[in-house]
Structure 1
């Protein structure tokens, strides 16, 4: 059997070998086990080319190096993208925070302005009631004349009120069989109103034990006075009343305070409130 590697004429000139094939050589090359198992196939490189044989370890190292390189490159790309996105996000977030701070400030200012306007409107409403009083506890009947009832009360306490000093008077609210409705009295002047209001302390002395004369307060001030009187009943305050629409209280040390809101009033609910 002819040996491929021992045929210099055939290996020296591949073109000639291919152009004039030797039948025996071709048949030998076609045999499946022509080359030994431990021998690589003799691939002859073309002129100027070099054949490179790599081991599995070398291939694995190359693969690992490529994977690491691509991973580093991809991580760098991802990091740049994330950094760019976060930068834009932080910029937007900062702008939103500034806008939110501005809105909070504006909202606080608006609340303060609304509170001032509400207080001013309440003052004006209370001033419009300066000539009014509210009388509660007088028994009610269908044929009554409220002007006559007020004149009778005024005479009893010695206020000296005349009928001409009453602009008008009437019951307020829905009829209640178990409780007489209050009577609103509008006087022709503040001076006439004061005649009756300043004499109210004499009511119990002349038989009007369950009758009370109070200023006609706005809803806000009426609520404040109601809460203040609840503190008087619970022993937190010594007294609570109104004067020309102003709510006044007397603390446990007999010091008088002007109350404008429930927050200030609530500070007297604790036992250790020192004013």
Structure 2
């Protein structure tokens, strides 16, 4: 008996004309179709083994851990392990811009809060060190100023017996000792050769100007006699104290202020610069800063009574009201001064400047 191996055609069954789906696409379809079903298992923390087997291992670089109660994101593949959801998310460039903008805004808003404690801890140490350095610099500046004053005072003290004579015509082969002796003899001051320790002209010969003569006497009494008689000299001849470089600058500026009508008068006495302000008060200036302060004070207090002459140390007048009286520059007093004198200042030798407290000159 002959078997029939021919299968009859089933005209009622439709035939597929397209190509079969590749296995990997078929697996992806299966995963997408089971997402909703797997979510029902994730709510109670259970694991859907079928989904784990179907999805396989996810790429670690694209995995975000999402709590179980969150809704599944569209277009994603997820599985559940230990109550957490592993989700592969695909973000567009616009999404990345939104996220980066939000992160930047957060950092900017909280930058001060984040950095302030860190910077404060560092700057606290720096602030203490800077404050200590500034304090040390200030102290060193004050010490430097004090040392400069002491050096200048010592330099001036070595010139206590010296005078500067200006305006005497300079000869080619001259002896300055003889020039000083002959000049002072014209005003009645006789000087012996032993009274002069040394003398010389100062400054450069260039320029055609007459250079002044510095003369150092053997004792202060000779210098004082010349100072008392110097008004009898010719108009073009001037006798002044031999000052240090610093004090010469102060005296020069004081003379300029007199020409500018800022001060009324100025002269030197025993190495100190004495000035009279617009109100008639006298001050003994020792530093350039004191002269600058005095010149800036356009309105000064006038003397208490007419004929009350006094020479004030400017620094002391500003701070403590100390008064300096020169018996040489104020001959009208001549010892007729009643005052509370500090210890050691009871004698008033002529030609020296003394510091008194609360001095009250009387006629």
User: Normalising by structure 1, what TM-score?
Assistant: 0.71
* Alignment of 1:93 onto 2:130: no
Alignment correspondent of 2:235:
209
Shift of 1:182: 0.8
Q: Which has the higher contact order (CA 8 A, sep 6+)?
A: 1
Alignment correspondent of 1:102:
132
Tell me which of 59, 80, 91 is aligned to 2:73.
59
The question of whether the paired residues in 1 share the 8 Å contact of 2:39 and 2:72 is answered with no
* Alignment of 1:127 onto 2:157: yes
* Alignment of 1:233 onto 2:259: yes
The question of whether the paired residues in 1 share the 8 Å contact of 2:274 and 2:285 is answered with yes
Shift of 1:102: 1.1
Cα distance change on mapping 1:257 and 1:60 into 2, 3 Å: farther
Alignment correspondent of 2:209:
179
Tell me which of 160, 170, 185 is aligned to 1:140.
170
Separation in 1, partners of 2:195, 2:280: 37
Deviation per CA, 1:200-234: give whole Å up to 9, x if none.
Answer: 1221xxxx211111111011100000000101111
Shift of 1:44: 12
Cα distance change on mapping 1:133 and 1:60 into 2, 3 Å: farther
Alignment correspondent of 2:270:
244
The question of whether the paired residues in 2 share the 8 Å contact of 1:267 and 1:273 is answered with no
Tell me which of 267, 286, 293 is aligned to 1:260.
286
Q: What SS does structure 2 have at the residue aligned with 1:185?
A: strand
Alignment correspondent of 1:155:
185
* Alignment of 1:166 onto 2:180: no
Separation in 1, partners of 2:187, 2:201: 21
Give the structure with the larger strand fraction. 2
Which ranges in structure 1 are unaligned for 5 or more consecutive residues? Answer: 1-23, 36-40
Shift of 1:268: 4.0
User: Normalising by structure 2, what TM-score?
Assistant: 0.55
Alignment correspondent of 1:223:
249
* Alignment of 1:195 onto 2:225: yes
Cα distance change on mapping 1:75 and 1:160 into 2, 3 Å: same
Cα distance change on mapping 1:136 and 1:76 into 2, 3 Å: closer
Deviation per CA, 1:235-271: give whole Å up to 9, x if none.
Answer: 1111111111111101112110111222322234457
Which ranges in structure 2 are unaligned for 5 or more consecutive residues? Answer: 1-9, 22-28, 41-70, 76-86, 302-363
Deviation per CA, 1:86-136: give whole Å up to 9, x if none.
Answer: 422221112112211111111000000000000001000000111111111
**When the two structures are aligned, how many residues end up with a matched partner?**
235
Instruction: Report the aligned-residue RMSD.
Output: 4.1
Q: Counterparts in 2 of 1:8-19, with a 5 A limit?
A: none
Deviation per CA, 1:61-105: give whole Å up to 9, x if none.
Answer: 9979xx999999999999999856542222111211221111111
Separation in 1, partners of 2:115, 2:128: 20
Separation in 2, partners of 1:264, 1:127: 20
